[in-house]
């Protein structure tokens, strides 16, 4: 069921959506579903060969129109060129999915200043760069638009060992809530999704390298007992991109099977108490 597309056929018909980091992982999954729903797609990232291969696969799978363009989100001028190329190809842009990210695990004290900045530059500055260029364009052209930003659940809580990413994603959340209010007057909506674990090569190879994936199996922390399926995330993203969510603005929707709350709730570790032990506690209480 959760592997099925959820929205009506044609829910994004005629819309053009730019997806940063759209050639791999979650960006590719969300973009493919946008195409299935009738959107035109622009996918960007640094590696044109990856983008072109992904675009070919997406066209074959959906019959949709996909424009792959190389663009480093740290380069504001290159972003302006992506927007111009998208307009030249499709006439206008309706939505931007800020999905590109960089991340790795490391004790913070082992990071160089450049390592810290690299993640901040891709995740936070990349998202602000693209949002600023896109927003200026929409405001100048008097066009409505929709931003969707991909953050993480540790944007709320912080997290050790991914401190540059946590710092940057928290900034993306603040950006989301700020622009949602300021730019609503221009008919620009801004929302975010905070995914929990959704296996991808890009994230798993960097965050759970070597034998860590087995040793620190994320499923152990997830109350629903499984990781996310890409289509589940794509369904949520398509809803937030579509006009069905026209009254949703400034929201961050968590999709993590209850993972972060399990870590947060003071007594959730009581999960480890067996029914037999609960019976014993009840007896002790009655005796008292
Ligand atoms: C410590 C590291 C490092 C590591 C790189 N650096 N990898 N430091 N541990 N594992 C340091 C380098 O030594 C260098 O510092 C600086 O970071 C820049 O490295 P470059 O390789 O030159 O950077 P660049 O080529 O721009 O590549 C960026 C990258 C890379 C972030 C380092 O991993 C990348 O391209 N990632 C893109 C995809 C990605 O990360 N996907 C995962 C997203 S998952 P010095 O000082 O030596 O110059 C996610 C959330 C998941 O975001 C949440 C799961 C629940
Ligand atoms: P991924 O496949 O590694 O995706 C990251 C994408 O960002 C890649 O396509 C990469 O392409 C692009 N990118 C990196 N640096 C860039 C730059 N400087 N300029 C332009 N593009 C750049 O990993 P993923 O798991 O799908 O992650 C997608 C998003 O989901 C990220 O925002 C991530 O933080 C978020 N997320 C993932 C999970 C998860 O469990 N997978 C959980 C929470 C949040 P190039 O290398 O070609 O540039």
Q: How far is the CA of 115 from the centre of ligand 1 (A)?
A: 7
DSSP element (H, E) containing 127: helix 126-141
* Residue 261 CA, ligand 2 centroid: distance in Å: 24
pLDDT digits (tens, 9 = 90+) for 261-283: 999 999 999 999 999 999 999 99
How many residues make up the chain in this entry?
288
Ligand nearest to the CA of 122: 2
Q: Is 83 exposed, middle or buried (0-12, 13-18, 19+ CB in 10 A)?
A: buried
23 lines ligand 2 (CB under 6 A): yes
Ligand lying nearest the CA atom of residue 18: 2
Of the residues 154, 186, 239, 244, which is catalytic?
154
71 burial via Cβ count (<10 Å: 0-12, 13-18, 19+): buried
Q: Over the stretch 20-79, which tens digit does the pLDDT of each residue have?
A: 999 999 999 999 999 999 999 999 999 999 999 999 999 999 999 999 999 999 999 999
> Using CA positions, which residue lies closest to atom 25 of ligand 1?
118
245 DSSP β-pair partners: none
Q: How remote is the CA of residue 44 from the centroid of ligand 1, in Å? A: 18
Q: What are phi and psi of 71, to 5 degrees?
A: -165, 125
Number of the ligand 2 atom closest to the C-alpha atom of 169: 34
Q: Is 112 in the pocket of ligand 1 (CB under 6 A)?
A: yes
Domains annotated on the chain, with CATH: 16-287 (3.40.50.720)
Q: Which residue in 35, 27, 28, 26 sits closest to 7, CA to CA?
A: 35
Assigned token pair, 251: 């929201």
Residue 154 annotated in active site: yes
65-95 pLDDT tens trace: 999 999 999 999 999 999 999 999 999 999 9
Helix (H, G, I), strand (E, B) or coil at 265: coil
| Distance in Å, CA 59 to ligand 1 centroid | 30
Name the 3-class secondary structure at 159: coil
Pairing verdict, β 66-70 and 95-98: unpaired
Q: Whose CA is nearest to atom 10 of ligand 2?
A: 21
Ligand 1 pocket member 106 (CB < 6 A): yes
Q: DSSP states of 145-179 as a string?
A: EEEEEE--THHHH--TT-HHHHHHHHHHHHHHHHH
What does pTM read for this prediction? Answer: 0.97
**Alpha carbon distance 229, 25 (integer Å):** 11
Tokens (6 digits) for 228: 């996310």
First vs last C-alpha separation in the chain: 50
Tell me if 105 sits within 8 A of 207, measured CB to CB: yes
């Amino acid at each position: 069921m959760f592997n099925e597309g959820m929205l009506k056929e044609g829910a994004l018909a005629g819309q053009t959506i730019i997806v940063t980091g759209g050639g791999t992982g979650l960006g590719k999954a969300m973009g493919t579903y946008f195409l299935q729903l009738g959107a035109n797609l622009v996918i960007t990232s640094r590696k044109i060969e990856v983008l072109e291969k992904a675009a070919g696969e997406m066209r074959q799978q959906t019959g949709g129109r996909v424009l792959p363009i190389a663009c480093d989100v740290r380069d504001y001028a290159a972003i302006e060129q992506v927007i111009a190329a998208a307009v030249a190809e499709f006439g206008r842009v309706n939505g931007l999915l800020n999905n590109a990210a960089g991340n790795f695990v490391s004790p913070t004290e082992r990071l160089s200043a450049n390592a810290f900045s690299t993640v901040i530059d891709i995740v936070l500055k990349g998202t602000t760069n693209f949002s600023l260029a896109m927003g200026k364009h929409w405001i100048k052209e008097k066009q409505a638009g929709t931003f969707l930003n991909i953050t993480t659940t540790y944007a709320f809580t912080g997290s050790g060992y991914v401190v540059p990413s946590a710092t940057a994603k928290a900034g993306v959340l603040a950006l989301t809530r700020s622009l949602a209010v300021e730019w609503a007057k221009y008919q620009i909506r801004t929302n975010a999704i905070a995914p929990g674990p959704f296996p991808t090569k890009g994230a798993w190879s960097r965050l759970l390298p070597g034998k860590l994936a087995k040793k620190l199996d994320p499923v152990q922390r997830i109350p629903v007992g499984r990781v996310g399926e890409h289509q589940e995330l794509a369904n949520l993203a398509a809803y937030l991109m579509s006009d069905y969510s026209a009254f949703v603005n400034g929201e961050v929707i968590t999709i993590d099977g209850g993972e972060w709350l399990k870590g947060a709730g003071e007594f959730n570790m009581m999960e480890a108490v067996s029914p037999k032990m609960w019976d014993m506690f009840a007896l002790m209480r009655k005796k008292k």
